[in-house]
Amino acid sequence: MQPAGQPNFAPPNHLVQYAPATGFPVASTNYQYPSPNYTQPAGQVPWSTGLCDCFSDVPNCCITFWFPCITFGQIANIVDRGSVPCEVCAAVYAVIRIFTGCPCFFSCFYRSRMRKEFMLEQRGCNDFCIHFLCEDCALCQEYRELRNRGFHMYHGWHGNMAGQQNQGGPMPMPPAPVMESGMKR
């Protein structure tokens, strides 16, 4: 059971347990996988969405395609637990992308850290190959994973933690902007 006031890193409770001090998931040994032929490493859980499920979140897919530095900055801020601002991570990513054309040398480390922190399985290729071959898809998948675990990406780490402390749960979505109809003179 997850301690009160801790962030909701919501893998299914039957797959993991939470460490009392940090609230982060630890391996559960009680779960029996459905098929005897299924050989997932102990304690690892699958990603909540597939690598090529980019269009399940079209706005993020478009932002990541045109401005991947924004998506990367949001991911890095959460993975770094707010120690580095989103804007700094996005700027570093943009500079690396502009001057080398290969930001995967930088971004793959965040995927590895995220996989280890949330005990996500590694399928097929290693993290560098996934980012090298499918950079935008990898960023979209990481963004969706954090969002599906209860993070509001536009609030960043500190905003999510403040929302957890102030409300005892995830921060609410901001209301949609009110659009006035028609032209006025």
In tens, the pLDDT along 75-130 reads: 999 999 889 898 999 999 999 999 998 888 888 898 899 888 888 888 778 888 88
The pair of structure tokens assigned to 79 is 């993975």
What residue has token string 């995220």? 114
Q: Are 121 and 47 in contact (CB under 8 A)?
A: yes
Which 3 state secondary structure label does DSSP give 74? helix
pLDDT band at 13 (very low <50, low <70, confident <90, very high): very low
Q: Greater confidence, 178 or 159?
A: 159
Q: Over 80: is that where the pLDDT of 184 sits?
A: no
Question: Which residues on neighbouring strands pair with residue 120, listed in sequence order?
Answer: 45
